Structure 1
Amino acid sequence: MRPFDGFAVAGATAAYLHGIGDFHPDPYEIAAPRRFNSRMGEVRFPIAHLSDEDVAWKSGIPVMRVEATLAALAKRDEEGSLVAGTFVDAVRKYGGTEMDVRILRERLGEDCYADLLRAAGIAPLGSLELVETDAAGHVALIEKKEAQ
């Protein structure tokens, strides 16, 4: 594996590679540490200053970690229900292993994080409950039982 050079698959393309959400990876997004000119019309290069901690390697390709991907999607005015669905997928797929919800909460800020939980049906009035499973920020979703 080569060292991280600041370029990584980002946004909807990263979500697609992680197998979360219903985003289409077209145009492809590759985060760049500085302005980057390319003749490839099907690729966008948004500027993002990523560190090694922001990146996971998949098949030798640097991809924004799940938390960084979710934060980027939430902050760029994507459709709220798509981001919420992507969050639920991420918790179900990576919540107990690779995803640290504390990092996501810090990146989004408390208000944006609370909005994401509400949109995903996780807030106190929603049908899902987000439960932290350990001190490493891992989480799981459980269905709330209806009052009888």
Structure 2
Amino acid sequence: MTGGFVLGERHRNQVATTPGDTTTTPQSSESSWAADPKSCPSEAIDFAIKEKLPSDLKQIFKVVTVNGTTVWICEDGAGSLYYQSKTGGVDAPLVQGENGLFLTRVVRDGDNAYEATAANGNTFMVNTRRLEVRFADGRTPQINTVETVE
């Protein structure tokens, strides 16, 4: 279900990319520019270059849900935030337009919490506990529990 949704989202947003709860506690980490920050996935950087966006993207937050969806929050040198996700499991390759979704309208919503909005109004909220997708058309939100945090 998530894979189909992401594919549809990616298709709708390809041109318009402008600016469950659980008692299990996932592993945590800090999300800030460290002395040696990690780069975001190369697929996200390649997409940013293609879309004429900043390409100096550093990973400031990463989660993997129990169903294998991976979400990265990236930050460019000017402090703008970007959302990159992929479905299909941790070992699946990230392919923009197939199982990958890249969004530019991202805001920090507290400590280790981010909200990204797609052009169609769907909202993706991610934090150290869960990934929640709220649909603009009023469908029931989709919630995935976070398994690991980087």
TM-score by length of 1: 0.27
Higher relative contact order (CA 8 A, sep 6+): 2
Who wins on radius of gyration, i.e. which is larger?
A: 1
**TM-score, with normalisation over the residues of structure 2?**
0.26
**Higher-strand-fraction structure:** 2
